[in-house]
Amino acid sequence: MEPFTAIVLAGGASSRMGRPKALLPFGAETLIERVVRRLAQCSSEVVVVRGPHVRLPPLPDEVRVVADEVPLQGPLAGICYGLAAARTEFGFVCGCDHPFLEPAIARLLGERTGDGDGAIVVCKGVPQPLLAVYRKRVATIAATMLASGERRAVRLVEHARLVEVSEEELFAVDPSGLSLLDVDTPQAYHDALARLDPCAR
């Protein structure tokens, strides 16, 4: 795969969690620090897209933080701003709430993109726009969607040429399937902590 930018979205309201997901303790670091650290190992750069209301912990100097131009527009806006800021042709997009994300998934998606606009994981028939690789030009597609009033990131599959990658293909590089686990609720957070290696706590 060509060099790519890891784009981590941290602009949401975390309404289901009840407190900012990015700042949740996860072992010796916060959730966003863990995701950034894991992706920094395989990407050319890391861009974090945050809402102006989100306070982030100190991140490595090489991580670039960009703010949503308009807050609380949803992940589609985060994808748009992150890709616009990327210095590479490809951007791997994920949320800040995937603590067990396997970086090899980014390479898999990049290899599957071909000459399309990107590649996206499909889980149980549902596209996962925050487990996807997009070409930089998708920023323009997302901006057009936002201008028309469309804020649902999942609708990208209708506007961009995205290769769909099945769970079976994902399991080839992540046999545990835990890359699909996101921490959206207090119960999901509790369950994720229970899976954390005790030595890492």
Q: Which of 12, 178, 176 is nearest to 21 (CA)?
A: 12
Number of domains in the chain: 1
pLDDT of residue 14: 72
Which range of residues forms the domain containing residue 145? 4-192
CATH of the domain at 113: 3.90.550.10
Find the helix packing angle between 138-147 and 75-85, rounded to 10°.
Answer: 140
Is 0.75 topped by the overall pTM?
A: yes
Euclidean distance between the first and final Cα of the chain, in Å?
33
- Check pLDDT > 80 for residue 48: yes
For residue 15, is it within any domain? yes
For residue 197, is it within any domain? no
CA 102/CA 83 separation, integer angstroms: 21
User: Which residues 6+ apart lie within 8 Å of 172 measured at CB?
Assistant: 108
| Percent above pLDDT 90 for the chain | 83
Confidence of residue 1 (pLDDT cuts 50, 70, 90): low
For residue 198, is it within any domain? no
For residue 200, is it within any domain? no
- DSSP H helical ranges for 41-185: 75-85, 104-113, 138-147, 156-159, 167-173
Residue that is written with structure tokens 């999942």 in the block: 154
- Check pLDDT > 60 for residue 2: yes
Mean pLDDT of the chain: 92
